[in-house]
Homo-oligomer: A and B are copies of this chain.
Amino acid sequence: MFFHKKEPIHTVNVDEANPHFAQLLLEQFGGATGELSAALQYWVQSFHVENPGIKDMLQDIAIEEFGHLEMVGKMIEAHTKGVDQTEVYKSTLFALRGMGPHFLDSQGKAWTASYLNEGGDVVRDLRANIAAEAGARQTYEELIKLATDEGSKKTLVHLLTREISHTQMFMKALDSLGKLTDPMFGNIPPDDTVNIYYNLSTHGNEGVARLDERGPWNSAPRHCARTYPIGF
């Protein structure tokens, strides 16, 4: 059962309305990396996750993300309210669609559940969530760089902060399952090609006989670098 209090979960300050920036903010309201994606992904996972602790954590974070969605919505409202006679406003999608937030991204694309990654296994879910948080954090960083007033910046730093907090929680949960640094999970053992590195993208004048670049991903004992059989 859901409840709502009219006060936002954290202060929302907008010093000066900027409808163009409001359109950019839509990215975190109705965009791929936005708060709706986060809230719905974690919450829908909570139905199939069996582990009671992780289930509870997914619900706690999902509800917080709904609160963040509201914060972003309030920022967009503040950046568009009462400015509808300006030329800047007229150049945004709010002129036709109305002021306030919509479930669109900054390019006017409607939100779609195709953004979500979830189902079947808690390890997959948690890895998907760490990725979702990374996308959200990245967009917040770009928005902070583009923000034109200090109040908006400060609010966005809080939202970015909480993505880091959630990442930490998801990492802790994944670690409690032993799956933060172990690539394997599930019930199907891999076959004997698991340790091969295929060097399929090469520099032309170097040939395929040696690796183009070396790193821990293709030189450690476990992943013995192997060029592909010669002759092709």
Encoded as 1 (CB less than 8 Å from any B CB) or 0, chain A from 156 to 192 comes to 0110111011011111110110001101111110110
Instruction: Write out the residue numbers on chain B whose beta carbons fall within 8 Å of the beta carbon of A215.
Output: 53-54, 57, 172-173, 176
Could you tell me which residues of chain A, from 64 to 114, have a CB within 8 Å of some CB in chain B? 64, 66-67, 70, 73-74, 76-77, 90, 93, 95-114
Q: A111-B112, A112-B113, A117-B131 are in contact. Are A172 and B5 (CB under 8 A)?
A: no
Q: In the complex, are the beta carbons of B198 and A60 less than 8 A apart?
A: yes
- Give 6 closest A-B pairs by Cβ, nearest first: A107-B108, A98-B120, A131-B131, A98-B119, A103-B113, A48-B100
B128 and A134: CB pair below 8 A?
Answer: yes
Q: List 16 A-B contacts (CB under 8 A).
A: A1-B5, A36-B40, A48-B99, A48-B100, A53-B214, A53-B215, A60-B199, A96-B142, A97-B119, A103-B113, A108-B108, A119-B138, A141-B187, A158-B191, A162-B193, A167-B184
Q: Tell me if A57 and B2 are in contact (CB < 8 A).
A: no
Q: In the complex, which range does the number of interface residues on chain A fall in?
A: 35 or more
CB–CB B63/A201 < 8 A: yes
Interface residues in A9-67 by Cβ distance below 8 A to B read: 9-10, 24, 27, 30, 32-33, 36, 40, 44, 47-48, 52-57, 59-60, 62-64, 66-67
A223 within 8 A of B: yes
Which chain B residues lie closer than 8 Å to A48 at the CB level?
77, 98-100
Of B131, B132, B173, B203, the contact of A216 (CB 8 Å cutoff): B173
Question: 12 additional contacts, CB 8 Å, given A63-B200, A114-B115?
Answer: A48-B77, A52-B213, A56-B212, A67-B200, A90-B146, A93-B106, A107-B108, A110-B113, A120-B138, A141-B187, A169-B217, A173-B215
The answer to whether A44 and B73 touch across the interface, beta carbons within 8 angstroms, is yes
Residue on B with the closest CB to A10?
Answer: B193
Are A183 and B204 touching (Cβ within 8 A)? no
Complex contacts, A183 vs chain B, CB 8 Å: 133, 164-165, 167-168, 171
